[in-house]
C-alpha cells in the first residue's frame, strides 16, 4: 500500500497564480484533512472532510478551496496565491471511530510551496 | 488559535535521560494523540489515549491524560540520539487539531 501520496513535492508560484495540490490515499479512510506548517507554528488545519461530498473549514481556510468527489482523493486549490501562503502543506487521512473521533492519522510527505 | 499548547518549546538532554513533554488544551475531547516529526518529513503517529483513560504505555513511551486539567504529558524513557525530533500533541473531536510542538534534541 502507498498510504497517503501528495504531489507535487515542491512548487514555486508567482503571486496571483492558482494551483491544485493533490492528495490521494489507498486505505479507504473516510476522514481526510489538509494542514499547513509554518516555522514555530506547528500544524494548522485548513480544511477537512468526513466523507465523499462533505467538507468543512478548519482553523485557516481563507484562500483555499477543497472538494471531495471520491473517498480516495482530496485536492486543495489555491485560488490566487499570495506570499503569505508560502508554507509546507501536509495531507492526512484516518478512519473515524463513531461520530466525533478518529483513529491515528497517516500523513503524506508534504508539499513545499513558495510564492514569490 | 491552536487547541494545544506544548511545553517546553525546546528540550535538550543526554542519551539515557528521560524526556517529558506537556500539552494543554482548551475544549472537551474524545481522544488525544501524540505524533513525531523528523526534520523535513511527515508526521508519524506514536500513541492515542482516549478521554476515559488516564495512562497508556507503548514501549519507552508513557502518556498520561488529565481531563479535569485539560492536560497530557508524554514521557520518553532512556532516550536515544535517534529520538531527536519534534513532538506534537493533537486533540480529536470531530477534527484533529495540533499543538505547537516540542523540539527534542538528544545528545550522544
Q: What radius of gyration do chain B's Cα atoms show?
A: 13
CB contact (8 A) between residue A50 and residue B94? yes
For residue B36, give Cα distances in angstroms to A10, A24, A102, B1, B90: 22, 22, 18, 21, 11
Inter-chain contact B99–A33, Cβ cutoff 8 Å?
A: no
Locate A31 and state its grid cell. Answer: 476522514
Which pLDDT tens digit goes with each residue over B37-88?
A: 998 788 999 999 999 999 999 999 999 999 999 999 999 999 999 999 999 9
Q: What is the pLDDT of residues A32-91, one digit of tens each?
A: 999 999 987 789 999 999 999 999 999 999 999 999 999 999 999 999 999 999 999 999
Distance CA B9, CA B11 (A): 7
Among the partner residues B31, B97, B99, nearest to A101 by beta-carbon distance: B31
- Band of residue A96 on the pLDDT scale cut at 50, 70, 90: confident
A60 vs B: CB within 8 A: no
Cα A38 versus chain centre, distance: 14
Sign of CA dihedral B57, B5, B87, A27: positive
Decide: A113 and A22 in contact? Cβ < 8 Å.
no
| Interface touch A105/B96, C-beta < 8 Å | yes
Residues of B in contact with A4 (CB under 8 A): 42
Amino acid at each position: 500500500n502507498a498510504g497517503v501520496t501528495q504531489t507535487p513535492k515542491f512548487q514555486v508560484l508567482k503571486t496571483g497564480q492558482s494551483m491544485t495540490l493533490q492528495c490521494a490515499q489507498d486505505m479507504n479512510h473516510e476522514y481526510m484533512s489538509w494542514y499547513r506548517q509554518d516555522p514555530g507554528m506547528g500544524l494548522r488545519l485548513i480544511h477537512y472532510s468526513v466523507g465523499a461530498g462533505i467538507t468543512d473549514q478548519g482553523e485557516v481556510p481563507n484562500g483555499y478551496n477543497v472538494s471531495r468527489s471520491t473517498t480516495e482523493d482530496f485536492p486543495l486549490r489555491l485560488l490566487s496565491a499570495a506570499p503569505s501562503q508560502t508554507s509546507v502543506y501536509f495531507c492526512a487521512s484516518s478512519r473515524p471511530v463513531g461520530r466525533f473521533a478518529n483513529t491515528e492519522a497517516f500523513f503524506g510527505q508534504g508539499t513545499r510551496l513558495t510564492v514569490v | 488559535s491552536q487547541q494545544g499548547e506544548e511545553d517546553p518549546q525546546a528540550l535538550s538532554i543526554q542519551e539515557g535521560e528521560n524526556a517529558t513533554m506537556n500539552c494543554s488544551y482548551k475544549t472537551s475531547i474524545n481522544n488525544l494523540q501524540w505524533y513525531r516529526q523528523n526534520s523535513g518529513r511527515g508526521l508519524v503517529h506514536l500513541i492515542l489515549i482516549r478521554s476515559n483513560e488516564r495512562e497508556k504505555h507503548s514501549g519507552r513511551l508513557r502518556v498520561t491524560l488529565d481531563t479535569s486539567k485539560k492536560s497530557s504529558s508524554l514521557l520518553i524513557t532512556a532516550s536515544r540520539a535517534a529520538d531527536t525530533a519534534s513532538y506534537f500533541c493533537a486533540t480529536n473531536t470531530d477534527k484533529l487539531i495540533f499543538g505547537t510542538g516540542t523540539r527534542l534534541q538528544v545528545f550522544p
